[in-house]
Amino acid sequence: MDDHVTHRRVVILGGGFAGLFAVRALRSAPVEVTLVDRCAHHLFQPLLYQCASGILSEGQIAQPLRAVLRRHPRVRCLQASADDVDVARRIVRATRPDGAVLELPYDDLIVGIGVRQSYFGHDEFAPFAPGMKTLKDALAVRTKIYQAFEMAEASTDPLERAQWLTFALVGGGPTGVELAGQIREIAGHTLEREFSTIDPGQARVLLFDGSDGVLGAFGPVLSHRAARTLDDLGVEVHLRSIVTQVDDRGLTVSRKDGGSDRVEARTVLWTAGVEAPPLATALARATGAEQDRAGRIRVEPDLCIAGHPEIRVVGDLMSLDKLPGLAEVAMQSGAYAGRRIRHSVEGRTREPRPFRYLDLGSAAYISRGRAVVKMGRFHGSGLIGWLIWLFIHIVFLTGFRSRAGALLSWAVVFASGSRRERAFTAPDPDATAAPPPPSPSSPPADSSVARNEPRRPV
């Protein structure tokens, strides 16, 4: 009936928690929504480490955005990477996977593209120490973990074998603690009695952090309990330690007393620090917005950029009142931004309330039946903490099939320690070989085929 009506155009950048909850808040509003995401799926990031460790499959933590939003007829999903924003013309420039450039006009813009892994100015560490921010990262980490045991089994040199059985993790936050606990469980339970020449249970797992305790955001009580649980699992925790060098054979760590240690480890995983992607800098430059040390954009209490009420920054990319980069912050800020636009379209004139984050707590899974949970004044750990953690993640997983599948996988792991999702791919040696010389029938070097030019329309 209203196909001829020009609706207000809302462009949402990012299909994570913030973007998804913004879309849901706009469902009943007379607006046209364009959701732009470079991966075209919604990723449940808090469970990435479980995909990396072989508990959950990719499909259980990543759902296609089109499937999630199939009941939102006014939402258009585009797979593209946002590169720049023309604030004066109100246009977002984005690049499709094939390199084509899109220009997306907007009346309202919600930016929820999240953050990426930070190596604190040492991007040269990245090839040797993958982070944990994307599905691709999780699969790369899975390959490094399980392939390390295979390499140790094949090695005849005791020193080399010890290097392959040493795992070093950088960062004592939730991801680092959770992943360290999972590697110890893999070594001590999952791979038990599967190898003939090595004992996976002898694998060393070392966790390095520059602070005074792991899980510092959970408070001293839970931090101490988490450290004690890691110690029980056999994880070697090294605090007040700053990583200064990483290569393919290990890492160098600087201690607080000024000394340094060299750790020989063929598997180094990076779980420390985040930074804003390049779009944040481009947006800040275009709008005059301030950025914090990590590059996140400072916003007003209504989540708008100062002087630009049409642009809202939500989720991990926003800097407001020192809010943590948690999924719950992203959900609430995305929903708030969507509601603000809906109320504006509906003509509500009452002065809106500023955004207020309702802290529902934090939880970190360490090992089977052991987790730590902070919910206001309540501090839980052990089995009670694990049950609360389980309930929270079942509630927030997207889709019934994901919830049912995850619950079944957790039950199997809890009961037996086995993991179904252990498949990984190794690099193809032939892929790095030099290409064969061109045959006589090959096209000339200056042809459009040789240059890989796109076909022109007829």
User: Two tokens at 126?
Assistant: 């990245």
Alpha-carbon span 138 to 130, nearest angstrom = 9
Contact status, residue 162 vs residue 264, Cβ threshold 8 Å: yes
Alpha-carbon span 292 to 151, nearest angstrom = 43
Which residue from 269, 229, 212 is spatially nearest to 246, judged by alpha carbons? 269
Which residue from 69, 92, 82, 67 is spatially nearest to 23, judged by alpha carbons? 69
Q: Which residues of 165-199 are buried (b: 16+ CB within 10 A; e: fewer)?
A: bbbbbbbbbbbbbbbbbbbbbbbbbbbeeeeeebe
CA angle 411, 415, 420 (to 5 degrees): 65
Contact status, residue 274 vs residue 137, Cβ threshold 8 Å: no
What is the amino acid identity at position 124?
A: E
Q: Annotated catalytic sites, by residue?
A: 178
User: Two tokens at 97?
Assistant: 């996977």
State the DSSP H helix or E strand holding residue 104, giving kind and residue range, or none if neither: strand 101-105
- Give, in order, the Cα–Cα distances in Å from 244 to each of 14, 259, 281, 358: 33, 12, 27, 38
Strand 166-170 to 267-270 pairing = parallel
Contact status, residue 254 vs residue 260, Cβ threshold 8 Å: yes
Alpha-carbon span 413 to 49, nearest angstrom = 14
